Amino acid sequence: MAGDIGRGVYTFLQTKSGVTNLISTRMSPQRLPQNVTLPAATFRVVSGSGHKHFTGSTNTGTCRLQIVSYAATHIGAAALDEAIRVEMEHYTGAAGTETIDIVLDDGYRDLHAAPQDGSDTARYARSRDYLIIYTLPAVST
């Protein structure tokens, strides 16, 4: 299922020191925990599907995975995003229990969140989408 690929990418990135040196285990599905220490990241599967063929389904799935890198500065958010992109772009191989055929960078956008607590401390973010082609688990009949 496409939802498992997000957890697989999380597991994969947790093995990469270029990422974990910046955020340790501060990567969460969908949204950041309240009062999380920055930098941190979130991931979510935006969309996903299995490929169809005239003779039925194939064992290949695709998904669009979004990873948002958060930091106290714009430069910090960009640095975390770059560390993740270096590991993700063109990756093939295991990601948790999933097998990734290829990861393609589909672009980024910078975000800025005004302080929510009345302070002058803003939160900066860079959101990047990845197109992932991966092997679907075999369907038992």
pLDDT in tens, 45-69: 998 876 655 566 668 889 999 999 9
Report the CATH number at residue 8: 3.30.2000
Q: Quick check: is 89 in a domain? A: yes
Residue type at 51? H
Q: Quick check: is 50 in a domain? A: yes
Contacts 24+ apart (CB under 8 A), 34-40: 38/70, 38/71, 38/72, 38/76, 38/123, 39/69, 39/70, 39/71, 39/72, 39/76, 39/77, 39/79, 39/80, 40/70
Helix 2-13 and helix 74-88, axial crossing angle in degrees, nearest 10: 110
Residue with tokens 């075999």: 138
Residues in the chain: 141
In this prediction the pTM is 0.87
Domain that holds residue 18: 2-135
* pLDDT tens, residue by residue, 87-138: 999 999 999 888 999 999 999 999 987 766 666 677 899 999 999 999 887 6
